[in-house]
Structure 1
């Protein structure tokens, strides 16, 4: 049952990326029909990012309290309905509103995925399960462009929103039918009382700040890859528009493979005798080392080699993010995993929101070269900070309760 559960989470994260990318393809036809300007389209994207950033933290906090089953059902339900409503919109205010609610639902997706994995898997299988769970997002990004184009050609652009929305609603029905099992951890089974940690109290721990700052530092690199690769291929590499679609999916496929592979390697290391600390950091260190090759994207003459280095970055990021999220669950356990994943995701979204205009100025006024160099150096810098500031990955809280106060015990 637990592998079926994680497969459903894989589908949910896949739907989240698919649903958010439909607009980037359908906007070509929408702008022709409604005469929306590029500035107005920019506001539509901002509407999504604002609610997405907010709900990463709020959604994680809520899920730690109501549980992954209810929390993820509500999240997928909200964004699926919002996505389907895109297909009936007739004005810019409607599109702004539906996009805002799409971000609200999707913001809780990854905190809910992390919480689900922690509920169903022990430490020897948790990294692989996390890799599968978040790997769906990359697969969603791979299939979104061709699927949206195919649906639009046969049924119109509105169906490109409605059909995935209905699939998401069907997912919620299946998800709610699952007989939910609490954490497989022995400590949790001894004391099944559900206790969450107050949000503000998490900021007293150094580990919270380290995970937040790592995401704040690195997420702009990932968003640069997502938002700027097509423009780079067109403007610098002079790749025709249709050919971009044939190349853009390759890095995301590498991401999906490495999400799962990163979890598999980490779990194998644990089963072979590595400590949790050594296993997670070994894979993250390997990922950081791989990113050192990314700046070569700027210097190779072949466009296919350039895309290969982009795929290499995505491969490294997949190894990294799977073990990063798993490390959060290793540290914060059942009481605060979703909340900390949410806080870090909010930090990354805010950082990306602030830095994207700066990226535009650098690209417009100089070149893409500084961006490729930064993409290659930031992960090693983050990894060095990680091993220095968190010398050992270990739980902060005992799974049980303080028998005098009823508060979560802090591991000394």
Structure 2
């Protein structure tokens, strides 16, 4: 059994693993204007590089989630971070679009199991009464990584070049891995090894036979492309349609991700307070997700904003809404399935979202090349309400 103090320490490390995961993947999107110019890449070619990452990431969300449930977060997440750090280092040696795509593919292989593992650890190690805040802490690391990526990437590009920026993120992964191994010192191996009740209790087939699980998958298929769009395309949008320099992008693009960070942790806290006051778990999660869904039309207004600053502010509203949404969505998964199936189910939903992300990224590039970014902002304004209605029809969770 893990003490509360040790559980919080491990959740903090889960937070940093998610931060590293999103920092590593965001370096390319922040430096995309420079890298695409150096390699002579069009938006369509860039979309294929993004596709390579999303393809492997999508497959490994499902496979990696299952591996996490078998190995446990202790071993599984350590292997995941080690692999993606090596893949990040490989970016420093690419010679063109093809090798860049290969490096992105292997980065996705390593990062795929990461978020399912972080959610699994937060659900298993923390008292159920604090599940919302624990999941919020773990998932909020993604926002912190996204916040840090623009200024750190721009700073690194100026001082050690864009290749050095990728090598630096790999070094941070090595530091995290050492801290992760040290955090388990003094703990019996059995304390963090999957045991009865923590190992997978259901096959993929039996999970997919449950209507509430299918609704979770369908909902994530709807909303995940929005986050992929914001992760990989907003710097391109600000550079090409708003005329912002790389330095200006690095100085401002962190703002939406700060909003995401605040919402991640705040939504988990509020959700736990609702349940502490007697609200059913599902009602608490779904109420907050409805609030989030009603905020997302701000994304379309961002495309119509008169100034870059106002556009970024409206993007921050969308990201704040996403933070409320994703924290409660992930917690809802933990409420719906057994602990031993959490990483598997998170991975399956992520796979569905990744498939949607792959398809959307292949469309975004040509749409931008032939029209503009506006249709993408319009789509991101309507999918969360659709996803909420999909989830609303599910059977009550346990």
TM-score using structure 1 length: 0.85
User: Residues 84-136 of structure 1: CA distance to partner in whole angstroms, max 9, x if unpaired?
Assistant: 23334557665444322211110111100111011111322111111111111
Q: Which runs of 5+ in 2 are unaligned?
A: 1-5
The answer as to whether partners of 2:29 and 2:232 remain within 8 angstroms in 1 is: no
Q: Quote the residue 2:315 is aligned against.
A: 310
Distance 2:41 2:263 in 1: 38
2:390 is the counterpart of 1:357:
no
Map 1:208-357 onto structure 2 (within 5 A). 208-357=213-362
Deviation of 1:348 after TM superposition, in Å, equals 1.0
For residue 389 of structure 1, give the secondary structure of its aligned residue in structure 2: coil
Q: Which runs of 5+ in 1 are unaligned?
A: 395-412
Distance 1:293 1:163 in 2: 35
For residue 158 of structure 1, give the secondary structure of its aligned residue in structure 2: helix
Higher RCO by CA contacts (8 Å cutoff, separation 6 or greater): 2
Q: Quote the residue 2:91 is aligned against.
A: 86
Distance 1:362 1:40 in 2: 13
Residues 92 and 195 of structure 1: CA distance in aligned 2, closer, same or farther (over 3 Å): closer
Residues 355 and 156 of structure 1: CA distance in aligned 2, closer, same or farther (over 3 Å): closer
Residues 388 and 91 of structure 1: CA distance in aligned 2, closer, same or farther (over 3 Å): closer
The answer as to whether partners of 1:14 and 1:138 remain within 8 angstroms in 2 is: yes
For residue 125 of structure 1, give the secondary structure of its aligned residue in structure 2: helix
The answer as to whether partners of 1:61 and 1:199 remain within 8 angstroms in 2 is: no
Map 1:373-392 onto structure 2 (within 5 A). 373-390=378-395, 392=396
Deviation of 1:387 after TM superposition, in Å, equals 1.4
Distance 1:366 1:58 in 2: 37
Q: Which of 367-376 and 320-329 deviates more? A: 367-376
Q: Quote the residue 1:175 is aligned against.
A: 180
Q: Which of 287-296 and 124-133 deviates more? A: 287-296
Distance 1:193 1:331 in 2: 15
- The structure having more radius of gyration, on CA atoms, is 1
Deviation of 1:305 after TM superposition, in Å, equals 2.5
The answer as to whether partners of 1:81 and 1:169 remain within 8 angstroms in 2 is: no
2:66 is the counterpart of 1:61:
yes
Distance 1:286 1:20 in 2: 29
TM-score using structure 2 length: 0.88
Q: Quote the residue 1:409 is aligned against.
A: none
Q: Quote the residue 1:6 is aligned against.
A: 11
Distance 2:304 2:41 in 1: 35
Residues 338 and 206 of structure 1: CA distance in aligned 2, closer, same or farther (over 3 Å): same
For residue 393 of structure 1, give the secondary structure of its aligned residue in structure 2: coil
Deviation of 1:14 after TM superposition, in Å, equals 0.8
Deviation of 1:316 after TM superposition, in Å, equals 0.4
Q: Quote the residue 2:3 is aligned against.
A: none
RMSD, matched Cα: 2.7
Residues 276 and 176 of structure 1: CA distance in aligned 2, closer, same or farther (over 3 Å): same
Residues 169 and 248 of structure 1: CA distance in aligned 2, closer, same or farther (over 3 Å): same
Distance 1:255 1:210 in 2: 24
Residues 26 and 113 of structure 1: CA distance in aligned 2, closer, same or farther (over 3 Å): same
The answer as to whether partners of 2:49 and 2:100 remain within 8 angstroms in 1 is: yes
The answer as to whether partners of 2:29 and 2:231 remain within 8 angstroms in 1 is: no
Q: Quote the residue 1:129 is aligned against.
A: 134
The answer as to whether partners of 2:150 and 2:251 remain within 8 angstroms in 1 is: no
The answer as to whether partners of 1:139 and 1:252 remain within 8 angstroms in 2 is: yes
